[in-house]
Amino acid sequence: MTSGTLIAFIIIALFGAGWKLFFQSDQLPPTPFPESWRKILNDRVRYYKKLSAEEQPRFEQAVLQFFEDVDITGIETELSDTDRLLVAASATIPLFGFPGWRYHNLNEVLLYENTFNHDYQTEGDERNILGMVGTGAMQRMMILSKRALHQGFDDQRSKSNVGIHEFVHLLDKADGETDGIPEMLMESPYIIPWLKEMHEEINDIKDRDSDINPYGATNQAEFLSVAAEYFFSQPHLFERKHPDLFALMETIFRQDLSG
């Protein structure tokens, strides 16, 4: 092995170790989960309710870990346990196939009562934003509309969930680019099939031959998040309508939602 090859190998090894440290943590002893919170999850989060008796405690511990890592702040709105639990559930669902992984690229989630604009204003024109991952001065922050957050979990027929949408953006962003290719989650052999399937679906959306939210045709990053909302909110319908895309997303997120 040449010195140049050795150096390259060391850099790659350190890079991979760094990404593991970025997301993973040591397993801690289980912390008691309040029964009142468990009832809220059962009542409001279908994903949690469908988990097995063995999986639900792991979901609960991930929620508690999220609360330790990330502040949730109401902006001119009071927050309830339900509000906080829906934020934590939104974060836990897309990472549930990766036990122990955490959002170390997020410090705080801000909840606004309703929609806002690009200047984070809740009054005036163009208040049509439901959620966003912060940039610049808002780096390491996420902003969500509380009303939209609740709607994503309350509407049993909806394919949309703004909380899941924004947390998938955050996962996509973890490799340095928000480009619809979540390299932190996706093994290399699946990148080309994913790109092929994604672009076929985007073309179908543009041709009005798809039931995926048209916003998914905006760009690759939006397609990933829009498809993930649908995948986690209505998995059986998604599998029936988009079987190839469904199979790829099960592989990417390491979750079996079929059947």
Are the C-beta atoms of 134 and 140 separated by less than 8 Å?
A: yes
d(CA 111, CA 146): 6
For the stretch 69-93, pLDDT in tens is 999 999 999 999 999 999 999 999 9
Reported pTM: 0.87
State how far the Cα of 174 lies from the Cα of 99, in Å rounded to an integer.
17
The more confidently predicted of residues 121 and 152 is 152
Q: Is the predicted pLDDT of residue 51 greater than 60, yes or no?
A: yes
Distance CA 98, CA 255 (A): 9
**pLDDT per position as a tens digit, 155-198:** 888 999 999 999 999 999 988 899 999 998 998 999 999 999 99
Of the chain, the end-to-end C-alpha distance in Å amounts to: 49
The C-alpha torsion from 67 through 73 and 79 to 82, rounded to 10°, is: -30
Q: Tokens 């599998």 — which residue?
A: 239
